Structure 1
Amino acid sequence: MEPLRPEDPSDIGGYPLLARLGAGGMGQVYLGLTGGGRHIALKVIREDFEGPQALARFRREVQTAERVRSRSAAAMVGAGLDTPPYWLATEYVPGPTLRQAVTVHGPIPPDTCLRLLGALAAGLLEIHRQGVQHRDLKPGNVILAPDGPRLIDFGIARGEGQTQITQTGVWNGTPGYVAPEVVREQEPVPASDVFSLAGTIAYAATGRPPFGGGRIEAILHRTLSGDIDLDGADPRVAELVALCAAKDPADRASLERMLQLTAPYGTLAADPAYRRLVGVLPPLPADVREAVTSGLVPPGRTQAPAGMRGGSRAVIIAAAAAVVAVVLAGSLTARYLMDGGDAAENPSGGSPEQGGGRSGTPAAKGGTSPATGGARSPGGPPPDVILLKEPTDEFDEVRWTKANFNCQPAVRPDDMRYANDLQTSAPRQPYAAPTVDIGMRFKYARPSGYYLAAEIRPPAEQQGNGVTGVVRSKPHLYPKGESGLTLHYPADFKWEGSGSEAYPLMKGDWTVIWLHVRANGDAYYLGCDGFTAR
């Protein structure tokens, strides 16, 4: 949870807001409260995301949420669809996503994976029997609630009779988890969710993306013609995942078959390893007063700003009492263009100023460009030499490792809305060339005037006291269009303000830190990636 910001409303649809939960492709998600004291998740569609297709997609999400009645999915509480701000509310159940749990704890034990497979198969089967396909099952769309997993994000789900909102040559889903028949632009079928289930469990078992990383084109090629990555997975898990990952949907095991094969392993909620993954969940504020006391709500913010209250006629739909609900994550509606394999992808919103950060060691002072000098205009480009300002002392210790395929220790990004939308690319197999390309893109956002830089950290064991090899690029304006930003090492890191000498690509794990650079040259952590050189 994050505190409300000055621009946030005090309530949505008459529900008081207690905190921010996160941002997604279509909008912001808040923690709210009903009149009866139940916590709910409220998603508010972005003001700049109100084109006809976006609204049609959001309305379909509301229709799907209303339609699905399952303990494994979100129970509808209410929605506002008449006038902006458009919103959707579900009851809130806390817990980490599967992706978050694996990032923190590493691969999940085999027996727990098998129980998770059975629980997710049961949830998908129940939804399918109601005529709905999920169409974007992945680790980030599975919440590990205390009493079992929940499927979230029905932003691109579609039920029988609902119109498909895609264009010719466009498909929905997430590379590495989307089924081959969807990539080929065929109509998704229920078995497409089974393929995504295979990738989700493979990730849980190995801690690695099921078809590797790198550029989207490469991931899709491996999805179409390669095998799912089960290296090191328990043979029992690997066997069941392989049954779900057949290229031809007709050859995949049914969800009913998965329930039969996983039944002997018992239920998931009683699994000690699962309970450790869920962890001890922090208490939620019981009301606005507690939220003010805890710093989540600014003092005096108990009334909605003018125009917010009653601004849209709420369509309130009673939630089924027997349905256990789930936190509504931001709807990451991925639309991947097949002309070149790029993704049309996520959220907007500027970076709030955040003072009190820890300063790094700048290569120059004053917030001016060595080439031009003088003060920087607030909306102009930053200087070439940037000043690292990070929120935690862990920043200097961040390292990417092939063993975990992620960066540790975790550092909280300054700009969460864009950090949640960040996609990175680097070689995912051991790499043996003198140069390397690294890339990033935002999944849905197309920010204007947004500058980024990268910091490269060589393997820790290769860093000396005098010349560390840690180098930074100049700031680069995020490009228009959908291609994202690509930098070349060492060429883009050999300049007088890089901070060190760029090392050759020696053996070991290399770390790539992506930074958001503001107009005054202050740079903040946005995300992390890495690769292995051999």
Structure 2
Amino acid sequence: MEPLRPGDPAEIGGYPVLARLGEGGMGQVYLGVSGGGRHVALKMVRDGLDDPQSLARFRREVATAERVRSRYAAAMVAAGLTAPPYWLATEYVPGLTLRQAVERRGPLPPHLCLALLAALARGLAEIHGQGVQHRDLKPGNVILAPDGPKLIDFGIARGSDQTQITRTGAWAGTPGYVAPEVIREQAQTTAADVFSLGGTIAYAATGRPPFGGGPVEALLHRTLTGDIDVAGVEPRLASLIRMCAEKDPARRVPLGRLVELTADAAPLAADPAYRGALSTAEHLPRNRSEAVTMGLAPEPPRRPRLLLPALAAGGVGAVAVAVALAVQFLPGGHGSPKGGTANQAGAHSSDPSAGRTGATGRTGGTAPNGSGSPSSGRPSAPSAPSAPSNGVPPEKITVQPLDEHFKDLQWKDTNTGCLPNSRTEPDTPPEIQTAAPRSAADVKAGGSATLSLRFKYQWPSNYYVAAQVREPVSLQGSDASGIVVSKPKPLPTNGEFRDFTFPADFTGEAATTAALVKGSYTVVWLHVHPNGDAYYISCDGFAVP
């Protein structure tokens, strides 16, 4: 991480910007954070790169990142493509890149290189199976995450159904890692990623560029005619690297065969040498205030002080002005924590240390509305309230999806949480805690379930929430959507939980089941605005045995 510089944005797409992460050909990459406390990597296109070709390339990057779903790739979170500045948010993967690890600690031991080769081969196989080529695999685009390596930066990746954007006479890739057929501008297949994989592992094993250094022309010539540098590499590993680096793509080892040849490699996450290689000892700021304290972000502008003596001399009129100004500048509805607790099993916090958050998602698409029927159209930002003066929303709410993945949101299990990641409403207070049944005794078939939510530290006034419950598949069909929704209720302003009883507090489009049935239930928590618009803020669930 690096401190922010003058001119850097304070937020991008509703995500507070905490620090700089790096810079690429298209723009700057920042560390951001979602309303639920999840860190994201924010790539913002730099000023001046708004020509049609650059924008087409960036939109293709977004489309490609959106289709990639793999445990070996950083997941896309959200994007802004309608107006400059254009941006893309992906999950932030903690850890060093492979290049950084080798630069700091030297070449990796042979067994670790073998395990890395096996993991990346499986990752590429998954991505290729989704119709995507990475096209720029290199040590700088592999992050050594705690649970294994992850591929990042799909900036020049292309799906099998996407057209070429790069102009004739130019090729995309990194000299020293790009395959010979790419340099020659021949037909490019997924085998080009295998060649780059060989060069990446060669670098990990030797600490040297796979085809040496020097001018680009020399690198390309050695790539076309020379042998990959595996001097001193353990024989088995050297042989596998050479199989990946065959000049002729037809003779290159297929990924499926490579996975078989490395099947005996030990899991990376359990290897002490791997944990040592990825360790950064870097503390991530949890919010903008902590980033300021750490010296990563500038202090916010000071608010003007009220000139009370001068106002006092002005009599009643001055006092009225002072009161008005004080009301304007006082924070609304926030206080210090009082330590409220939940009187039920399974309280869940969106604090990152709790392991699960109401994560963020992507742009575009459709999602269920408040009554369970699909709501189509482009995603919208939270609308300005146009409601009764008392601020109480109507009983019938309308869910406004912020991305196309909201409709697919589903609770998997206690450890996994809800997938796919969907975007939360910007400026949601941090550290949401939700509670749902967590034991068989709490979810007996034929009974009911208590669902609860609170904010742990901030308690805004007049903040209404509702719960949308997505019932098991057995309750979905032509008669009902399987989606039921509660009426909105205000959150307590003392830190206590707001409870909803399922199914008593819920109504559906056609009919609501009178009791719990066997299966998994997804609980989608919503912030309801005074005009009845509701936006996603967190997700939980429970299973009925």
Per the shorter chain, which TM-score range? 0.5 to 0.7
Q: Hey, what does 1:432 align to over in structure 2?
A: none
Partner of 1:46: 46
Structure 2 matches for 1:35-434, cutoff 5 A?
A: 35-300=35-300, 316-318=403-405, 321=418
CA contact 1:78–1:317 (8 Å) conserved in 2: no
Query: What's the CA shift for 1:129?
Result: 0.1
CA drift of 1:317 comes to 4.9
Q: Match of 2:245, as an amino acid? A: A
**Identity in percent:** 68
Contact kept, 8 Å, 2:74 with 2:93, in 1: the verdict is: no
Q: Deviations for 1:107-141, whole angstroms, at most 9, x for unmatched residues?
A: 11000000000000011000000000000100111
CA RMSD in angstroms comes to: 2.1
CA contact (8 A) 1:77 1:91 kept: yes
1:469-513 per-position Cα deviation (integer Å, ceiling 9, x unaligned): xxxxxxxxxxxxxxxxxxxxxxxxxxxxxxxxxxxxxxxxxxxxx
Deviation at 1:85, TM superposition (A): 0.3
- Matches of 2:281 and 2:421 in 1, distance apart? 17
Tell me: CA distance 1:313–1:162, structure 2 relative to 1, closer, same or farther (3 Å): farther
**Partner SS for 1:121:** helix
CA distance 1:148–1:19, change in 2 (3 Å)? same
Deviation at 1:318, TM superposition (A): 4.0
Moved more, 287-296 or 146-155: 287-296
Q: TM-score, normalised by structure 1?
A: 0.57
User: Would you say the 8 A contact 1:177–1:199 is kept in 2?
Assistant: yes
Which position in structure 1 is the counterpart of 2:20? 20
Going from structure 1 to structure 2, the CA distance change for 1:301 and 1:219 (only over 3 Å counts) comes to farther
| Rounded Cα–Cα distance in structure 2 between residues aligned with 1:101 and 1:124 | 21
How far did 1:316 drift? 3.8
Q: Deviations over 1:411-458 (max 9, x none)?
A: xxxxxxxxxxxxxxxxxxxxxxxxxxxxxxxxxxxxxxxxxxxxxxxx
- 2-structure distance, mates of 1:323, 1:263: 29
1:322, CA displacement in angstroms?
Answer: 5.1
Q: Aligned partners of 1:322, 1:263: CA distance in 2, in Å?
A: 29
Aligned residue pair count: 317
Deviation, 1:168, is: 1.2
Higher RCO (C-alpha 8 Å, min separation 6): 1
Q: Which portions of structure 1, spanning 4 or more consecutive aligned residues, are displaced by more than 3 angstroms?
A: 312-325
Residue pair 1:61, 1:157 contacting (<8 A) in 2 also: yes
For normalisation by structure 2, the TM-score amounts to 0.56
Measure, in 1, the Cα distance between the counterparts of 2:102 and 2:137.
16
How many Å separate the matches in 2 of 1:236 and 1:168? 40
Query: Any idea what SS the aligned residue of 2:143 has?
Result: strand
Q: Which has the larger radius of gyration?
A: 2
* Superposition deviation, residue 265 in structure 1: 2.0
2:277 aligned counterpart, secondary structure: helix
One-letter amino acid of the counterpart of residue 230, structure 2:
L
Counterpart-to-counterpart distance in 2, 1:69 and 1:19: 27
Q: C-alpha offsets along residues 508-534 of structure 1, whole Å, 9 cap, x if unaligned? A: xxxxxxxxxxxxxxxxxxxxxxxxxxx
Aligned equivalent of 2:350: none
Structure 1 residue 262: Cα displacement: 1.2
Q: Deviations over 1:21-75 (max 9, x none)?
A: 1111111111111111111111100011111111100000000011111111121
- 8 Å Cα contact 1:97-1:141 kept in structure 2: yes
Amino acid at match of 1:197: L
**CA offsets per residue over residues 299-325 of structure 1, 9 Å max, x none?**
11699xxxxxxxx98774548755799
- 1:88 to partner: Cα distance: 0.4
Partner of 1:107: helix, strand, or coil?
Answer: coil
Which stretches in structure 1 are left out of the alignment for 5+ residues? 304-311, 326-534
Name structure 2 gaps, 5 residues minimum. Answer: 304-378, 382-401, 410-417, 423-545
Alpha-carbon distance change, 313 to 302 in structure 1, aligned in 2, over 3 angstroms: farther
